[in-house]
Copies of this chain bind each other. A is one copy, B any other.
Amino acid sequence: MDKKITINDIAAKAGVSKTTISRYLNDKFDNMSKTTKVRIEQTIAELDYRPNRQAQALKARNSFLIGVSVADISNMYTSRLLKGIGDYFQNTHYQVLIMDADDNVDRELSNLEKMMTEQVDGIILQPLVHQPDHYQFLIDQKTPVVQVDRYTEPFTWPAVVSDNFQKSVDLAKILKAKQYDTIIVLANRITGVSSRMNRYNGLKAGLTGSQITVHLIEIDDFNWQSQLKKTIVSYNRTAIFALNGQVLWSAVRFLKTHQLRIPEDIGLIGYDDDQFADMISPAITSISQNPQEIGRTAAEKLNMIMTEHALLPKNIRIPSTLQLRDSL
């Protein structure tokens, strides 16, 4: 690698002091002669000089780095979330440092530690843990944080989330109208994940007063398949509510394996993955979130906190939409 060109090289070559170069770099042309400006411009172009961001950051005492901690980078929800975040920061002077917790609490913590040593100016966090004191060091450092998809409780940082509870209440109405007697909620471990809890609790809330029973089955349990089978055979009209895209596809695969017909033998409704949900027969009724908008909004809010010390509401809810198709 060549020796890097620095501000001193430019100053020497252009025959001015580095202060003047710095002024040029920061658009302070008020008191700069046309000739100087042009000469600096040429020199920079000639030497293909780029100011060193580390040095600028050191001086400015902030890094212009944003940390983004996601639960698992390898699913569609996350991809679209990151698209939204990236689109927003694209037009700012912030760079985005994305870290994947891989659904591992220790790794998440280690990632957040790394972000702190990188001096990130703010963090967008999809928390793995529900208790905010787990993130005590972030609180202590007073780092600006915006949560996405889920939140910790009691309130610590604002969160941009889907309208999970309300949409499940809406869903409950439909389920009642369709005369189901049992709903099986199929999910990853829901304890401590606010989005999943809200979907589950919303459904139960919407169902109160009806005769419909709700069973929760977590696919992290080794015997979820036998649990599921047992529950299905015990009731007449059953529907499965799959709390996210990956679980939805596990459910579809399960029903296919056991040759259960949708919706004749069993109803099915899922979250996410709507681009595939209408691809199979029958098309799956699903609740479609807007992760890109969640990401964009979270980025915008974080920027507001960082630049204007804005005070935000606890929750900002981005609407999702219930896509009625043929599986209920």
- Residues on A facing B (Cβ under 8 Å): 1-2, 4, 48, 50-55, 57-58, 61, 63, 73-76, 78-80, 82-83, 86-87, 90, 95-100, 102, 107, 113-114, 116-119, 137, 140-143, 249, 252-253, 256, 275-276, 279-281, 292
A95 & B79 in contact (Cβ 8 Å cutoff): no
A279 & B249 in contact (Cβ 8 Å cutoff): yes
* Pairs across A and B, CB under 8 Å, 10 listed: A4-B61, A4-B119, A54-B63, A54-B118, A54-B119, A55-B58, A73-B79, A73-B86, A74-B83, A280-B280
Give 8 A-B pairs besides A54-B55, A75-B79, A86-B98 with Cβ atoms closer than 8 angstroms: A50-B113, A50-B117, A53-B119, A54-B119, A82-B100, A87-B102, A96-B99, A252-B279
State the CA gap A249–B276 with chains docked (Å).
8
The distance from the CB of A38 to the nearest CB of chain B, in whole angstroms, is 22
Task: Please provide the 6 A-B residue pairs with the shortest distance between their CB atoms, ordered closest to farther.
Answer: A74-B83, A74-B79, A86-B100, A54-B57, A50-B117, A54-B54
Cross-interface CB contact of A280 among B4, B141, B279, cutoff 8 Å = B279
In the assembly, how many copies of this chain are there?
Answer: 2
Cross-interface CB contact of A1 among B142, B249, B276, cutoff 8 Å = B142
Closest to A252 in B: B279
B100 & A97 in contact (Cβ 8 Å cutoff): no
List residues of chain B with CB within 8 A of the CB of A4.
61, 119
State the CA gap A102–B90 with chains docked (Å).
11
Closest to A280 in B: B280
The interface centre, meaning the residue of A80, A116, A119 with most chain B CB atoms within 10 A of its CB, is A119
List residues of chain B with CB within 8 A of the CB of A252.
279
B95 & A95 in contact (Cβ 8 Å cutoff): no
A142 & B2 in contact (Cβ 8 Å cutoff): yes
State the CA gap A4–B143 with chains docked (Å).
11
A253 & B281 in contact (Cβ 8 Å cutoff): no
Cross-interface CB contact of A140 among B48, B102, B113, B141, cutoff 8 Å = B48
State the CA gap A78–B100 with chains docked (Å).
14
Closest to A64 in B: B118
Cross-interface CB contact of A117 among B52, B58, B80, B114, cutoff 8 Å = B52
List residues of chain B with CB within 8 A of the CB of A97.
95-97
Closest to A60 in B: B54
Closest to A144 in B: B1
Given A119-B54, A142-B2, are A76 and B73 neighbors across the interface (CB < 8 Å)? no
